[in-house]
Amino acid sequence: MKNLPDLCLRYADPHAYPAGVAWQDGQYIPVSEAKVSVLDYGFLHSDATYDTVHVWDGAFFRLDAHIERFLAGVERLRMKLPIPAAEIREILHNCVSLSGHRKAYVEMICTRGAARDFSRDPRDAENRFLAFAVPYGSVANDEQMRRGLHVTITNTTRIPPDSVDPRIKNYHWLDLVGGLFDAFDRGGETALLLDGGGNIAEGPGFNVFSVRDGVLRTPDHGVLQGITRRTVIEICHEQGMSVHKGDLSQDALRGSDEVFITSTAGGVMPVTRIDGQPVKEDKVGPVTESIKKSYWLRHKDARFIEEVVYPA
């Protein structure tokens, strides 16, 4: 790795919020100065893919898995990264290191870019890569983590997988944002969207799990294959618990002993009310607590982490 101060043209402005460092066009800049052109199809058509990884106590968690998912998305969208894929890791490390954040939310993004003469042919566009590191954020706040989130099952259907491949992490969020407003209108704190069959799919930035009689269920159709979801499934298998990946009806979710959601932004987050009604006893359950604990223990496990080197 090169000398970090030499790589950073200008350090992050400590007064800008959120304070952080971005990489763009070969330079490290304050995140507040990172820009996407108004003519970039990533902006105009949501023609982009991205991935989000977090840094916890100065170490990346499952960085390989996030880069792998990102590169698979780039390939499925027939994009070509303007930098060698092997450089992504170093760029992300440098963004975090220069930001100084020991708990960070880190995005890598590939946009379709702009095309000469504003060509409508996506093959003419010059694809762009950007990355940034900002302070860590969670779907659930401290109080919600303690007492459990109150979610609303909306009538909004998640974009069908035949229309947009949900394995490609994308910014097609109008259904998710619409679902959030619907949830707020009905007194919820966040939303669950449905799949085409009226079953539970996922929410704005998270997957969902139901626990009943010691068995876990999580939707599999039309959802992002979340890396936190994968981690939870691995933890369950290690601990001898069964996980069924498949349809999860609204009634099955409402009849759960425990419900939790999973995301890089927050980890394992309990849900204690659905549409204003308590899940079982309106308390964070023991299976959720135990999986959450194992999830955070993995953040000290050399198999999953990669330390960031910060300037002295």
Residues at the interface with ligand PLP (CB under 6 A): 52, 202, 205-207, 224, 226-229, 262-264
C-alpha 36: how far from chain center: 21
- Residue number with CB closer to ligand PLP (28 or 209): 209
- Residue number with CB closer to ligand PLP (11 or 171): 171
- Measured from each CB, the residue nearest to ligand PLP is 226
CB of 245 to ligand PLP, least distance (A): 14
Q: CA 134, CA 119: separation in Å to the nearest integer?
A: 34
Amino acid code (one letter) for 121 = D
- Residue number with CB closer to ligand PLP (100 or 161): 161
CB of 36 to ligand PLP, least distance (A): 19
CB of 247 to ligand PLP, least distance (A): 17
CB of 204 to ligand PLP, least distance (A): 7
Using an 8 Å Cβ cutoff, are 137 and 106 in contact? no
Q: Which residues, 6 or more positions from 205, have their beta carbon under 8 angstroms from its beta carbon?
A: 139, 176, 263, 265
Q: DSSP string spanning 49-112?
A: EEEEEEEETTEEESHHHHHHHHHHHHHHTT---SS-GGGHHHHHHHHHHHHT-SSEEEEEEEE-
CB of 20 to ligand PLP, least distance (A): 18
Using an 8 Å Cβ cutoff, are 164 and 48 in contact? no
Q: Which of 289, 283, 293, 290 is nearest to 149 (CA)?
A: 283
CB of 164 to ligand PLP, least distance (A): 11
Using an 8 Å Cβ cutoff, are 201 and 222 in contact? yes
- Residue number with CB closer to ligand PLP (69 or 101): 69
Tokens for 81, please give them. Answer: 């990264």
- Residue number with CB closer to ligand PLP (88 or 125): 88
Q: Which of 50, 28, 67, 32 is nearest to 111 (CA)?
A: 50
Q: CA 112, CA 45: separation in Å to the nearest integer?
A: 9
Q: Which of 217, 121, 107, 120 is nearest to 170 (CA)?
A: 107
- Residue number with CB closer to ligand PLP (97 or 228): 228
- Residue number with CB closer to ligand PLP (224 or 259): 224
CB of 11 to ligand PLP, least distance (A): 28
